[in-house]
């Protein structure tokens, strides 16, 4: 709704007039991209197969190590101000849980008048291709196949398209070379991949159990530290932590880490790994050879090889924290140069001419890299709209100024 547009953006609201922009995925990056597009006057369709920010809500019990300022955009804060929400001007260093961040920022933004009618939940995008039937004077544009919740499929068109579908729902395999380990596919339905609320909603599932955690990233550190705390309350809880790194301290700490909570988590996890206490048994340099689901009572048997040869581990629960990777089938017909092994689409320059109206924004853009944070998406969003509008200096943040509501 144009009446809701911040006054300072009125002069650029016609940039996207008459053009359709489709954004795939209503997670944080998708919401921010859709909002930016609507502020410029594009007709936006924000397509989401589930509900907005569904993955954020899945790990929403956890507190973000990135502060409010790193998870919110200048445009989004202006929207909160226009909605007369007091936290539009909150302390930029505030740390929130994922659920509170959704409730106080993403939910009001995605439901604001500017995005009214743009969000289409329960819509899966199956494939994307180039729109070839067009006047030569117009850009390629895109066609895409969608499926509604009732199973009905249709072919749609758009002038511009952004994939913000992320990676969280596509966990990496445990086996060698990024492949499934023998037996893993059959056992996958019994494994845990996300960041579970171990001390809350999922406590009964883990309390008093032997739990195997495979991986050595931040999610593995978060699960191991929470399980160690759970073991204080339920002493029968035992943690078997297997990491592929050869280091006795699995978590690589960042010098002068700007995010204090991230550094504290890494330090705590390293302490648990090296001191061998609090019910945590750590093994470095472990590579998975086979995964076997034994039974509901016995759980899993995992065969590995490491510095001292083959080993066998058994546990009632198995948490896989090997990270996530882009799902590339969606974009196959576009010929997007996204190499999930080289991992980073953002390194590719210049942008292929045939894909001038396309971009990857958010976690999917960074492939398997595990250090993505939301504030990395903001400059990509700005650059995308500057490119497709052919206005290199277009920057809504600068137009709005530094002061929210100013």
Q: What number of other Cβ atoms are within 10 A of residue 196's Cβ?
A: 24
Q: Are residues 36 and 103 in the same domain?
A: yes
> What φ, ψ does residue 163 adopt, rounded to 5°?
-95, 110
Indicate the residue among 320, 337, 368 that finishes a domain. 320
Q: Is residue 106 part of a domain?
A: yes
Q: Are residues 42 and 139 in the same domain?
A: yes
Model pLDDT, residue 299: 96
Q: Is residue 406 part of a domain?
A: no
Q: Are residues 297 and 361 in the same domain?
A: no
User: In sequence order, which residues have a C-beta less than 8 Å from that of residue 22 and are 6 or more positions away?
Assistant: 44, 45, 47, 142, 144, 156, 158, 160, 161, 162
Q: Is residue 10 part of a domain?
A: yes
Q: Are residues 75 and 154 in the same domain?
A: yes
Taking phi over 0 as left and psi of -120 to 50 as alpha, with beta for the rest, 66 belongs to beta
Parallel/antiparallel/unpaired status of strands 160-163 and 20-24: parallel
Model pLDDT, residue 369: 66
Cα torsion 162, 168, 173, 178: sign: positive
Q: Is residue 152 part of a domain?
A: yes
> Of 50, 56, 54, which Cα lies nearest the Cα of 71?
56
Report helix, strand or coil for 396.
helix
Q: Are residues 121 and 238 in the same domain?
A: no
Is 0.85 surpassed by the pTM of this model?
A: yes
Q: How far apart are CA 228 and CA 123, in angstroms?
A: 40
Q: Are residues 315 and 339 in the same domain?
A: no
For residues 246 and 307, the answer to whether their CB atoms sit within 8 Å is yes
Q: Are residues 208 and 161 in the same domain?
A: no
Q: Are residues 10 and 149 in the same domain?
A: yes
Q: Is residue 45 part of a domain?
A: yes
Q: Are residues 24 and 157 in the same domain?
A: yes
User: In sequence order, which residues have a C-beta less than 8 Å from that of residue 304 and are 6 or more positions away?
Assistant: 242, 283, 286, 287, 288, 289, 310, 311, 312, 313
Number of folded domains that form the chain: 2
For residues 237 and 211, the answer to whether their CB atoms sit within 8 Å is yes
> The domain containing residue 361 runs over which residues?
2-168+325-400
Q: How far apart are CA 84 and CA 81, in angstroms?
A: 5
Rg of the chain over Cα atoms, rounded to whole angstroms, equals 23
Q: How far apart are CA 383 and CA 390, in angstroms?
A: 10
Indicate the residue among 301, 320, 339 that finishes a domain. 320
Q: Is residue 310 part of a domain?
A: yes
Q: How far apart are CA 47 and CA 125, in angstroms?
A: 8
Model pLDDT, residue 5: 86
Indicate the residue among 291, 320, 349 that finishes a domain. 320
Taking phi over 0 as left and psi of -120 to 50 as alpha, with beta for the rest, 51 belongs to beta
- pLDDT tens, the chain, 406 aa long: 466 888 889 999 999 999 999 999 999 999 999 999 999 999 999 999 999 999 999 999 999 999 999 999 999 999 999 999 999 999 999 999 999 999 999 999 999 999 999 999 999 999 999 988 765 656 679 999 999 999 999 999 999 999 999 988 889 999 998 899 999 999 999 999 999 999 999 999 999 999 999 999 999 999 999 999 999 999 999 999 999 999 889 998 888 989 999 999 999 999 999 987 779 999 999 999 999 999 999 999 999 999 999 999 999 999 999 988 888 888 888 877 654 444 445 554 545 666 789 998 998 887 766 677 888 899 999 999 999 999 999 999 999 998 887 6
**CATH number of the domain residue 249 falls in:** 3.50.50.60
Q: Is residue 405 part of a domain?
A: no
Q: Is residue 195 part of a domain?
A: yes
DSSP 356: T
Q: How far apart are CA 118 and CA 185, in angstroms?
A: 37
Q: Are residues 122 and 181 in the same domain?
A: no
Q: 302 is written with which tokens?
A: 């995992």
Cite the DSSP H helix spans in 5-148: 28-39, 54-58, 68-71, 74-82, 98-101, 107-110
For residues 267 and 235, the answer to whether their CB atoms sit within 8 Å is no
> Of 234, 193, 190, which Cα lies nearest the Cα of 210?
234
Model pLDDT, residue 370: 65
Report helix, strand or coil for 228.
helix
Q: Are residues 284 and 161 in the same domain?
A: no
> Of 38, 181, 58, 53, which Cα lies nearest the Cα of 117?
38
Q: Are residues 203 and 311 in the same domain?
A: yes
Length of the chain: 406
């Amino acid at each position: 709704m144009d009446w809701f547009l911040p006054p300072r953006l009125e002069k650029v609201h016609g940039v996207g007039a008459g053009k359709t922009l489709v954004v795939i995925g209503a997670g944080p990056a998708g919401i921010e991209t859709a909002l930016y597009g609507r502020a410029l006057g594009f007709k936006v369709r924000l397509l989401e197969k589930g509900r907005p920010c569904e993955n954020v809500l899945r790990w929403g019990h956890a507190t973000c190590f990135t502060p409010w300022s790193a998870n919110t955009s200048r445009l989004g804060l202006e929207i909160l101000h226009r909605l007369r929400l007091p936290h539009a001007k909150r302390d930029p260093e505030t740390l929130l849980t994922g659920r509170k961040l959704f409730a106080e920022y993403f939910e009001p933004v995605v439901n604001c008048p500017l995005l009214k009618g743009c969000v289409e939940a329960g819509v899966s995008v199956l494939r994307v291709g180039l729109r070839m039937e067009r006047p030569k004077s117009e850009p390629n544009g895109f066609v895409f196949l969608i499926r509604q919740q009732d199973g009905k499929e249709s072919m749609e068109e758009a002038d511009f398209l952004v994939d913000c579908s992320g990676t969280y729902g596509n966990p990496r395999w445990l086996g060698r070379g990024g492949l499934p380990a023998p037996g893993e596919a059959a056992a996958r339905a019994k494994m845990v991949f996300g960041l579970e609320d171990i001390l809350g909603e999922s406590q009964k599932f883990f309390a008093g159990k032997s739990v195997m955690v495979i991986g050595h990233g931040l999610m593995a550190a978060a699960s191991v530290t929470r399980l160690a705390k759970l073991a204080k309350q339920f002493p029968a809880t035992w943690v078997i932590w297997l990491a592929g790194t050869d280091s006795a301290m699995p978590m690589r700490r960042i010098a002068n880490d700007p995010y204090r909570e991230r550094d504290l988590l890494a330090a705590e996890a390293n302490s648990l790994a090296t001191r061998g206490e609090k019910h945590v048994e750590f093994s470095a340099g472990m590579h998975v050879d086979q995964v076997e689901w034994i039974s509901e009572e016995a759980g899993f048997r995992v065969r590995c090889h490491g510095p001292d040869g083959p080993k066998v581990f058994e546990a009632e629960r198995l948490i896989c924290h090997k990270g996530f990777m882009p799902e590339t089938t969606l974009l196959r017909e576009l010929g997007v140069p996204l190499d999930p092994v080289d991992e980073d689409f953002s390194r590719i320059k210049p942008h292929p001419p045939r894909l001038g109206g396309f971009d990857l924004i958010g976690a999917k853009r960074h492939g398997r890299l595990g250090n993505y944070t939301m504030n990395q998406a903001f400059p990509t969003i700005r650059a995308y709209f500057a490119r497709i509008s052919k206005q290199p200096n277009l920057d809504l943040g600068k137009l709005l100024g530094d002061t929210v509501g100013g």
